Structure 1
Amino acid sequence: MNGTATENFVCVIFNVSFMNCTWHVDSSSGDIQYFLYWKTSRKEDFSGCQNYIKDGYGRHTGCRFQNVTIEKKRAYFLLNVSRSGQNIQSYKKTIILHEIEKLTPPLNVTVNCAKDSHGCEIRWQPPRTSHVKRHSCFKYEVAIENKVDHEKDIKTTSKTERNITGNSYVFGSISAEKRYRVKIRATDNGCLVSTSWGEWSTPIEFGTEQLTSTTSYMIFLIPLLTASLVLFLCTVSIYLKKTSAAIPQPRNLFHELSPVDFQTENKNQLIKHETEEITTITEEVT
C-alpha cells in the first residue's frame, strides 16, 4: 500500500549507545500515522517509542533511542500503520544490533616525524564501543593527502592504505616541500563488529613545512619578547625616578657650617650690631 512502512525501514546505532530508526512516509497520505514498538528478547513485551521524529504534518517518520546495549543481542521491531485510528498494516523486522552500529572514529591519533629520517609514524587507539574490548577486533583504513599550495604549484595527491590490523602506520614518502594531513576509520576484523566502515577521524596535519613554520615563528617571537621586556624595564625605571622626586628629603639637623659660611654669618652679625647702635644714638640726639 502507498504510504506504508513496509519498505525503507532502517536503524543505525551511533556514538556507542544511541539508535535512530527511520521509515518512508508517502507525502500524499496525510491521514496515516505510524507507531513503532521494539524489544530485545522474544519473551518480553513490546515497548513503544518514547521520542518520535515528526515531519511538518505531525506524522511519525522515525524514533530516537538512548542507552542501547549491543552485546550479542537481537532487536525485534513492530511498526503499526493506522488510518483514522484503525490499524491497517503491521511491519515486523528482526535486527542484529552490532551489524547496524556506525563505529566512532579511532581515538588519540598522533603523528611523530623524526628529524633524522624521511618517515612519519602515525599512531591511534581503537574506536569506542560498549561490547568489544580487544584491539585485534578492528582493522583500519588510513588516508593521507598533501595540502594544496597554489603558490608553489603543488597539487593534491592522496594515498590510502586499507586492512591495517595494528595501531600504527609508518608513512615513508614524506617530502620536504609538502604538508600532509591524515584521517583514519575502522571496521570489523572477525569479531561482533559492523562490517561497514565507521566514521573518519578529524584530519591531523603534519610535515616538514609545519616544523619550518614553527621555527620561523619562534625566531620572530623571541626578539619581540625581548623588546617588550626592555620597554617594560624602562617604564618601571622612569616611574621610580618620578616617584622619588616627588618625596621631600628630610632636613639634616647635624649639618655644620663650613668656614666660609661661618665668616659670612659673623660679618652679618657685626653689621646688624652697628646698625642697632647708630639707631640708638640718633634716637638720643633727637
Structure 2
Amino acid sequence: ILGIQVLPPVNFTLTVSALAEVLLQWKPNPDQEKNDIVSLHLILINCLFFKYDTKKTWSTRRAVLHNGFSARIRTLLHYNNSEIKSNWVTAKLKAPPGAVETSVTNLSCVIYTAINNTASLHCTWLAGKAAPEDTKYFLFYRYNSYTEECQEYSKDKWGRNIGCRFSNTYINRGEIDQVVIIHINGSSKDTAIKPFEELFNKNAIEKVNPPRKVTVSLKQNNLLVKWEMPVSSFLEECFEYELNIYNWKMGYKQILETTLHSFSLTIDDTCRYSIQIRANRQSWCDEGFWSDWTEPLFIGKNQNVFVV
C-alpha cells in the first residue's frame, strides 16, 4: 500500500528464564509512523505462529533447549482488509556445551498418585554412549513454578546415576493437561557432559490407580463382576477396563475389555476361576499407563486344578 512503511521490531532478545523456558522480549520500531492502523507482532517458533498487539512486548515459551532455540518476529499492519508485513528479525540461543553422545538417552518417567492426592515421580534413563565412567548425572523436575533436584538416585555398575525417585512432589493430581519438565545435566573430570531436557504431558505419564471395591458372584453358571472406578480426578466416563479371567482347571486365560463397571459371563461352574481387573483412561481422555492388576479373587469349585 503506497505511503505506508512497515518496520520490524527492535531489541529482540531471548533469555533462559527457567528450566525449559525462554523469555522473548522486543520493542516496536521507534521509527514506525504512529497512526490508527492496528499493529501486531507475529512470532514464529517451531513452525507455530503467535500474535501479540503492540502493547505486549514479551512472551514466555516452554521449549526443549538442549539443542538451542531460535525465533523470528515481524510487524503486521492491518489496513482496509489488507495485511502489510515487515521483514523478519531473528534471535537465537546457542545449544549448551557438551560432548556428543554424553547426554542421557531413553528417558522414561512415571507419575504415581495416592489416595491422599500426593504424587510421586519415578524416572529412569541410560548413560550416553560416550559418557565416561566417572560421569555424574543430576536430575531436576519442574512443575508450574516449582523446581526440585533429585535426592534419591539409583545407579549403574559404574556408580552413575541412571534413575531417580521423588516420593513426594508438587505435581497436582487434580490439574489437567499440565506439563512436567525434566532436565538432566552432568559432570565429568575430563569431558563436558551435554544436558538433556524433555517435556511430558502429566496425564500421559501418570500410572492409573487400580479399580476399587471389586466383587465377584456366581449364580448357577453366570459370573458377575462389579467394581468402582479408580481414585482419580477424571470422570467415570474416561475409563476403560480389562478383565483377566483365568480357568485353573483348563489352564485357559481370557482378557476381556469394557467401559462399564460390571461384567457378566457364562462359565463352567465346575471349574475354579481367578478374576483380576486393571484400568486406564481412554485415548480421548488423555490415556496414561495401565494400572496394576487388582489382587485376584477366586470363585468356582476348587477341584482338578490345572498345574503349569
Please classify the TM superposition score into its range, dividing by the shorter chain length: 0.5 to 0.7
Rate the CA distance shift 1:69–1:79 in 2: closer, same or farther, 3 A: same
Match of 2:278?
A: 185
Q: Helix, strand or coil for the counterpart of 1:34? A: strand
Q: Tell me if 1:157 matches 2:252.
A: yes
Per-residue CA deviation, residues 118-148 of structure 1 (Å, 9 max, x unaligned), is 202101111223x32x222211111212113
What secondary structure does 2:193 align onto? strand
Runs of 4+ in 1 over 6 A off after TM superposition: none
2:133 counterpart residue number:
30
CA-CA distance at 1:53 after TM superposition: 2.2
Matched letter for residue 254 of structure 2: K
Indicate if the aligned counterparts of 1:3 and 1:24 stay in contact, CA closer than 8 A. Answer: no
2:120 maps to which of 18, 22, 28 = 18
Match of 1:166 among 236, 260, 268: 260
Give the CA deviation at 1:56: 4.5
In the alignment, which of 119, 138, 146 is matched to residue 239 of structure 2? 138
Q: Which letter maps to 2:278? A: R
- Determine the C-alpha separation between the residues in 2 that align with 1:187 and 1:196: 7
How far did residue 93 of structure 1 move? 0.8
1:195 Cα offset (Å)? 4.1
Which has more radius of gyration? Answer: 1
Whether the 8 Å CA contact 2:110–2:123 is kept in 1: the answer is yes
Alignment partners' CA distance in 2, 1:189 and 1:88? 39
User: For the residues of structure 2 that align with 1:202 and 1:147, how far apart are their CA atoms?
Assistant: 16
> How far apart are 1:40 and its partner, in Å?
1.4
Q: Specify which structure has the higher proportion of helix.
A: 1
Q: CA separation of 1:85/1:102 partners in 2, compared to 1, >3 Å: closer, same or farther?
A: farther
CA distance in 2, matches of 1:62, 1:93: 15
* Deviations, residues 49-77 of structure 1 (Å, cap 9, x unaligned): 22222334432112111233242220112
For residues 292 and 213 of structure 2, what CA distance do their matches in structure 1 show? 14
Amino acid at match of 1:119: N
1 CA distance for matches of 2:154 and 2:255?
A: 38
| Alignment-mate amino acid for residue 186 of structure 1 | A
> CA, structure 1 residues 77+85, in 2 after alignment: closer, same or farther (shift >3 Å)?
farther
The root-mean-square deviation of aligned C-alpha atoms, in Å, is 2.6
Change (3 A) 1:33 1:109: same
Contact 1:78–1:91 (CA under 8 A) maintained in structure 2? yes
Change (3 A) 1:56 1:190: closer
In structure 1, list runs of 5 or more residues that go unmatched: 149-154, 213-286
Structure 1 residues 27-36 or 68-77, which shifts more?
A: 27-36
Amino acid aligned to 1:25 = A
Deviation at 1:189, TM superposition (A): 2.7
Q: For the residues of structure 2 that align with 1:63 and 1:159, how far apart are their CA atoms?
A: 36
2:284 and 2:140 map into 1 onto residues whose CA distance is 29
**Identity level (%):** 28
- Is the Cα–Cα contact under 8 Å of residues 103 and 185 in structure 2 kept in the other structure? no
C-alpha distance in 2 between matches for 1:45 and 1:122: 43
Q: Does 1:121 align with 2:187?
A: no
How far apart are 1:9 and its partner, in Å?
A: 0.8
Matched, 1:203 2:296: yes
